Amino acid sequence: MSPPESGPGARRAGRNRVGNRRSPWGKAVLIVLAVLTVQSMAWCWAADLRLPGLRVDLDNAGGPRELSGILTVVLLLTVVSLAPAILIMTTSFTRLAVVFSFLRHALGTQGSPPNQVIIGLSLFLTFFIMQPVWQKIHQEAVVPYQRQEISGDEFLKRGLKPLQDFMLKQTRKQDLGLFVSLSQQEKPANAEALPITTVIPAFVISELKTAFQIGFLLYLPFLILDMVIASILLSMGMMMLPPIMISLPFKLMLFVLVDGWNLMIGSLVKSFH
């Protein structure tokens, strides 16, 4: 009687015998799955699936009305998708966000405060600054329209008027003149007669210039502090030590001692009045 085999060959043979014993069950499972898949596909094809469709016939009597309704829906979807850009471009958000970014770079704190804090603070300050404008829009446009006292065109005209007045108050005449000349239209009698498509880009570049001017003023004291620290390190022969490592604590201490957040935010809010 020969001894039982051992080793890798014996183990492979054992696995093959187990696999051969279990193979009929595996084949049965595969057959059942295949049958169920074919049956489900047959049910799907046999079912009467009716999908909603969109059909516009421009030749019939209601063609212009259908086209007008579709264009209205497309316009509303476009306005909703552009709502964040409209909020940024027509309010004080641009100046606030750019100034806070300049302050972070001037302090040299890299990612502190983070972008979420900067955007959130700019957003809530925007709500605070724009609150009188939005209240005026609500009183002069939204309430009469809800009472059906004015038409839709009059609602848009009254709603844009306070916002346009706010933007014109913060826009430089040079920027307005630039876009009036680029539009190749006749020069209006006054700035209030300008279309909103001309006022918005002029307002944006004016806000960017104002924000860059404020950023330059913010950089000056911290730049002087960096130069003083660099000169001290150079005179001490510590040329391999980055000056930013030494100046950063002094920048933070200076900013906290003068109550920098209170001064800066107070000045920013007052600059819109």
The mean of the pLDDT values for the chain is 78
Q: What is the pLDDT of residue 191?
A: 78
Q: Given phi > 0 = left and psi -120 to 50 = alpha, else beta, which region is 49?
A: beta
Q: How confident is the model at residue 181 (pLDDT cuts 50, 70, 90)?
A: confident
Question: Per-residue DSSP letters for 154-222?
Answer: HHHHHHHHHHHHHHHHHS-HHHHHHHHHHHT-PPPSSGGGS-HHHHHHHHHHHHHHHHHHHHHHHHHHH
The mean per-residue pLDDT over the stretch 234-249 comes to 81
Contact partners, residue 241, CB within 8 Å, separation at least 6:
233
pTM summary value = 0.69
- For 268, the 3-state DSSP assignment is helix
The pLDDT > 90 percentage for the chain reads: 29
Confidence of residue 37 (pLDDT cuts 50, 70, 90): low
The CA radius of gyration of the chain, in Å to the nearest whole number, is 35
Mean pLDDT on 254-272: 91
| Choice between 262 and 57, residue whose per-residue pLDDT is larger | 262
Q: How many residues does the chain have?
A: 273
92 alpha-carbon distance from chain centroid:
15
239/138 Cα distance (integer angstroms): 62
